[in-house]
């Protein structure tokens, strides 16, 4: 009987020990730290982490709409592999971007198969114009044409990769891309339209591949291949600039070769140039001086219009005509000499020159070649009555200013 009592006692003790051990282990398990979860993945589409490739605009749009607003520095990179920027009449890349204007995007089309971009003959939705949240784009190698105004007004666009199969860049294709700092034109391009890079305020260089047989560049300025025609100075170019002696003509047009180059301070034109065309220096608000050589025979319409910092200009004795609005709005101009070679002055040639107090006429201009609105006030009448000489006024800003011959 004692033996059995001992067995019961041993059994009881064992059970107590087992229970205590179980409780201890349970308590220990509660004190052990839980394993840390794996780090959360970065949202797709951040720079360096492309989202996609998407094969439909709907899918791309659904993804983009779900993303939070960002900044140009944290633009989402989206890979889109399509044959067109328009999926169906009511859906396009342009529509998606413009309805997600707080989401900045770098668009990678390198896997797409379209042969042109921005074709208005197909529909305006093929264009990306006005997509202010587009920060950059890589075009596919299949592209041969960038149609007019395709990227116009893309104010956040900082970079664009133009593939080597592109042959044509349309009129105003990148107009108003105010963040675009530089662009490289491949050797395949044979046509660059008017104003292709107009109003690109940050653009300091238009670089041309050395193998291009149509165009060339020097100091970031665009020329024809032989550098006889200066086509466009990038609007962001700063300081002084000397046009090469090889140049015989400077592109003119709606804005001209130097149109809206607001940071240029001086320009020297070589004696190989014979005319300054329409709007050549339009809106060069920081231009303080310009050297016009004796080879120039005409100054075109609006050639220096809006050059508000231009304090003086020497018109050489070779110039025979001064076009409409040639110096209109040059508010810093205080005096000007009209040489005896000039036989005609167009409408508003010096209109709005509110600082102009002295004008010297060295020759004779007939009444029918001297527009009544060339100058403010009664200067024309006084000149026609008094002939060559120096005329002054004390109220140049007054549209009814009275001029007196010295």
Q: What is the pLDDT of residues 309-338, one digit of tens each?
A: 999 899 999 999 999 999 999 999 999 999
The yes-or-no verdict on residue 104 having pLDDT over 80 is yes
Using CA atoms, how far apart are residues 50 and 62, in angstroms rounded to an integer?
Answer: 16
Cα separation values, 105 from 50, 90, 108, Å: 10, 21, 9
Contact 245, 268 (CB under 8 A): no
Count the Cβ atoms, other than its own, within 10 Å of residue 330: 26
Residue 312 and residue 333 in contact, taking contact as beta carbons nearer than 8 Å: yes
145 bridge partner residues: 116, 168
∠ Cα 160 161 165 (to 5°): 135
Collect all residues with Cβ–Cβ distance below 8 Å to 44 and sequence separation of at least 6.
50, 51, 63
Quickly state the pLDDT bin for 110 (edges 50, 70, 90): very high
Percent of the chain with pLDDT over 70: 86
CATH 3.80.10.10 residue ranges of the chain are 43-225, 238-406
Q: CA 154, CA 174: separation in Å to the nearest integer?
A: 8
- Answer for the pair 103, 112: CB distance below 8 angstroms, yes or no: no
Triad 52, 55, 56: Cα angle to 5°: 110
* Average pLDDT rounded to a whole number, residues 239-247: 98
Q: How confident is the model at residue 49 (pLDDT cuts 50, 70, 90)?
A: low
H or E, element range at 390: strand 389-392
**The pLDDT of residue 397 is above 80:** yes
Distance between CA atoms of 157 and 152, rounded to whole angstroms?
10
Predicted confidence (pLDDT) per residue in 279-318, tens digit: 999 999 999 999 999 999 999 999 999 999 999 899 999 9
Distance (Å, rounded) from C-alpha 153 to C-alpha 188?
A: 25
Strand, coil or helix: 209: coil
Confidence of residue 85 (pLDDT cuts 50, 70, 90): confident
The pLDDT of residue 86: 81
Q: So what's the pLDDT on residue 48?
A: 52
Please say if the pLDDT value at position 7 is more than 60. Answer: no
pLDDT at 1 over 80: no
- The band of 84, judged by pLDDT with boundaries at 50, 70 and 90, is confident
Residue position matching structure tokens 């240029």: 264
* In the predicted structure, residue 271 carries a pLDDT above the cut 60: yes
Average pLDDT over residues 31-60: 61
Least confident span in 33-37, 232-236, 253-257, 310-314:
33-37
Instruction: For CA atoms 88, 142, 135, 208, give the dihedral sign.
Output: negative
Exposure of 41 in the CB half-sphere (CA atoms within 13 A): 5
What pLDDT score was predicted for residue 132? 97
Q: What is the average pLDDT score of the chain?
A: 88
Tell me what pLDDT residue 36 has: 45
Give the pLDDT of residue 120.
60
373-405 burial code (b ≥16 CB/10 A, e <16): bbbbbbbbebbeeeeeeebbbeebeeeebebee
The fold of 238-406 is: 3.80.10
Strand partners, 146: 117, 169
**HSE toward the beta carbon, residue 279, CA cutoff 13 A:** 13
- pLDDT (0 to 100) of residue 124: 55
Domain 43-225, CATH homologous superfamily name and number: Ribonuclease Inhibitor (3.80.10.10)
Across the range 117-138, mean pLDDT stands at 80
Tokens of 112: 């797409």
Burial letters for 64-91: b for 16+ Cβ neighbours within 10 Å, e otherwise?
beebeebebeebbbbbbbbebbbbeeee
Give 87's pLDDT tier (boundaries 50, 70, 90). Answer: confident
Distance CA(306)–CA(332), nearest Å, equals: 10
The pLDDT of 385-393, averaged and rounded, is: 98
Q: What is the pLDDT of residues 161-189, one digit of tens each?
A: 899 999 999 999 999 999 999 999 999 99
- Residue 127 banded pLDDT, cuts 50, 70, 90: confident
Residue among 90, 100, 104, 154 at smallest CA distance from 128: 154
Residue 184: DSSP 8-state: E
């Amino acid at each position: 009987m004692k033996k059995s009592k001992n067995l019961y006692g041993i059994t009881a003790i064992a059970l107590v020990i087992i229970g205590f051990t179980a409780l201890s282990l349970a308590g220990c398990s509660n004190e052990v730290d839980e394993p840390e979860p794996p780090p959360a993945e970065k949202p797709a589409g951040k720079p360096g982490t492309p989202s996609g490739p998407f094969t439909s605009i709907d899918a791309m749009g659904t993804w983009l709409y779900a993303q939070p607003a960002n900044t140009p520095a944290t633009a989402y990179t989206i890979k889109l592999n399509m044959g067109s920027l328009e999926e169906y009449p009511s859906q396009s890349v342009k529509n998606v971007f413009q309805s997600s204007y707080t989401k900045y995007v770098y668009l990678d089309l390198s896997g797409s198969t379209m042969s042109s971009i921005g074709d208005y003959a197909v529909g305006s939705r093929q264009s990306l114009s006005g997509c202010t949240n587009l920060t950059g784009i890589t075009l596919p190698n299949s592209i041969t044409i960038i149609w007019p105004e395709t990227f116009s007004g893309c104010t956040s666009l900082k970079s664009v990769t133009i593939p080597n199969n592109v042959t044509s860049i349309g009129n105003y294709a990148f107009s108003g891309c105010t963040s675009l700092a530089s662009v490289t034109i491949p050797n395949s391009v044979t046509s660059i339209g008017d104003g292709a890079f107009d109003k690109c305020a940050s653009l300091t260089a238009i670089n041309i591949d050395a193998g291009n047989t149509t165009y060339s560049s020097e100091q970031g300025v665009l020329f024809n291949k032989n550098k006889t025609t200066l086509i466009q100075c990038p609007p962001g170019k700063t300081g002084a600039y000397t046009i090469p002696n090889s140049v015989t003509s400077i592109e003119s047009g709606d804005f001209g070769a130097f149109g809206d180059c607001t940071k240029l301070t001086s320009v020297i034109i070589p004696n190989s140039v014979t005319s300054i065309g329409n709007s050549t220096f339009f809106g060069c608000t920081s231009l303080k001086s310009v050297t016009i050589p004796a080879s120039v025979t005409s100054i075109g319409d609006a050639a220096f219009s809006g050059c508000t910092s231009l304090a003086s200009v020497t018109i050489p004795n070779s110039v025979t005509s001064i076009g409409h609005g040639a110096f209109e709005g040059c508010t810093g101009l205080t005096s000007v000499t009209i040489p005896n070679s000039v036989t005609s002055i167009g409408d508003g040639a010096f209109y709005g020159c509110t600082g102009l107090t002295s004008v010297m006429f060295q020759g004779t201009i007939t009444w029918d070649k001297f527009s009544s609105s060339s100058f403010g006030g009664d200067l024309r009448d006084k000149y026609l009555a008094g002939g060559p000489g120096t005329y002054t006024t004390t109220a140049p800003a007054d549209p009814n200013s009275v001029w007196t011959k010295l």
